[in-house]
Structure 1
């Protein structure tokens, strides 16, 4: 009898020390946040629900509120019954479903007002609520690219206003930067110019999924540019001199031939 009581006490203590083994529900949104969505494209959020053997899902609710926390406050987007497959959206642009403990919310055509903090709340049969959050923002095009110079460090800095996920690329005289010109920082926004002298035309191109924009910085002309122009002028002058010489030779030869023919004709007349 004492042994049975001892075993019962141990089992009770074990159950009390592991409450989440039977009564524990959790939810997390699978999409990494913050998420950036292109206007007009669909937004799909998925949340996985983990529940204990004695837990039952009563209802799943999707809500949204502004990231700033100001009015109009939290808005209900869809409500899903615990054992149902389809969710009831509050507008034609919203739908959702429940499958294999994964709750899915769809915004069919994303617009700027759809940005904010999304919350999925799972309510169990006892009325206990568990919530997970995700931040959704609008994917912005590249705007207002500019290039500034840091003379003390011989570097050019490319700036962009508010574009989402900007990618930076540098050109020197319309050609991609090589090690002979300089090195680009890890994020691509800074070009450290190592070429001597610091000269030529530099361009920073910033791009993302919605397009690109560029800005330029022009230093003093490189010597190679002036030398190339000089060589071109010299070559042109030599070519003109050569053509002129050939024409002069041909004219001289023609004149000599005509003069000799006339002399022979006059000499023949005299002989006759």
Structure 2
């Protein structure tokens, strides 16, 4: 008994020094914020619940409020009370699945009105609550692509208004950028032109999951382009002249043969 009393006396302070070891509860949303959702698709948020062996979850609540605005109203989306944690959504499009270690929120047919700051609140058996937040925004298409030139640095800069996860790529005369033309930055927004002089058409294409848009910077025509056009015109004129000469020769030969036939026929008539 003395040994048991001694062990209890030594172990009890350890529990007092470990307030979050066995009794504290925490929750965190696993999705990296901000979460962007394409309109018409489903929003899914997953949260992990951490608690000690002596704790349990008595209620889980999902809610949403506007991302901006001082008087933003908080809207409750679903509550999961009781030991069974049976969840009840406030709308048919809202579904929640909750266990002791994890909770998942799903909203079908996502629209712009569903954007905002989402909060999941977990209450333990003693009534203490902990909350985690996540920002959710609408997935936007790319808009208003523009290209500007920085003459001092011999570079072209591509800009885009507010699209989600834009991806940048460059073309020169409708072909991919080669080392002789220039070098594209890691983020794709800047093209450092190494060719001299800067000439031709430079096109910046910006795309994401919803489509793409482009803008073109036009410099002076390249010499190779002018030479190629001139050569094509000269070749075409030569072919036309050659064809015309052959056609004229054939017509002349046919006319000559007809004349010889007529003279021969007249000579035979005179002889008879």
Counterpart of 2:230? 230
Counterpart of 2:91? 91
Alignment of 1:106 onto 2:106:
yes
Report the Cα offset of residue 202 of structure 1: 1.4
Report the Cα offset of residue 72 of structure 1: 3.0
Counterpart of 1:81? 81
Report the Cα offset of residue 105 of structure 1: 1.4
Q: What is the distance in 2 between the residues matched to 1:156 and 1:206?
A: 14
Q: How does 1:1-272 map to 2 (within 5 A)?
A: 5-258=5-258, 260-261=260-261
CA RMSD, aligned part only? 2.2
Any idea what the Cα deviations from partners look like across 1:59-113, whole Å, max 9, x if unmatched?
1111112212422332221111142243112223322121352112121221212
TM-score, normalization by structure 1: 0.90
SS in 2 for 1:68: coil
Report the Cα offset of residue 38 of structure 1: 1.0
Report the Cα offset of residue 122 of structure 1: 0.8
Asked whether the equivalents of residues 117 and 133 of structure 1 are also in contact (C-alpha less than 8 Å), the reply is yes
Asked whether the equivalents of residues 146 and 158 of structure 1 are also in contact (C-alpha less than 8 Å), the reply is yes
Report the Cα offset of residue 266 of structure 1: 6.4
Q: What is the distance in 1 between the residues matched to 2:262 and 2:107?
A: 100
TM-score, normalization by structure 2: 0.90
Report the Cα offset of residue 156 of structure 1: 1.1
Q: What is the distance in 2 between the residues matched to 1:197 and 1:18?
A: 71
Distance 1:70 1:5, change over 3 A: same
Any idea what the Cα deviations from partners look like across 1:125-170, whole Å, max 9, x if unmatched?
1111111111111111111111111111111111111111111121
SS in 2 for 1:86: coil
Asked whether the equivalents of residues 60 and 82 of structure 1 are also in contact (C-alpha less than 8 Å), the reply is no
Report the Cα offset of residue 264 of structure 1: 5.3
Q: What is the distance in 2 between the residues matched to 1:38 and 1:251?
A: 71
Q: Which consecutive residues of structure 2, in runs of 5 or more, have no partner in the other structure? A: none
Distance 1:261 1:45, change over 3 A: closer
Any idea what the Cα deviations from partners look like across 1:232-266, whole Å, max 9, x if unmatched?
12112211221232233334434444555566566
Asked whether the equivalents of residues 142 and 208 of structure 1 are also in contact (C-alpha less than 8 Å), the reply is yes
Asked whether the equivalents of residues 84 and 98 of structure 1 are also in contact (C-alpha less than 8 Å), the reply is no
Asked whether the equivalents of residues 56 and 100 of structure 2 are also in contact (C-alpha less than 8 Å), the reply is no
Q: What is the distance in 1 between the residues matched to 2:221 and 2:113?
A: 49
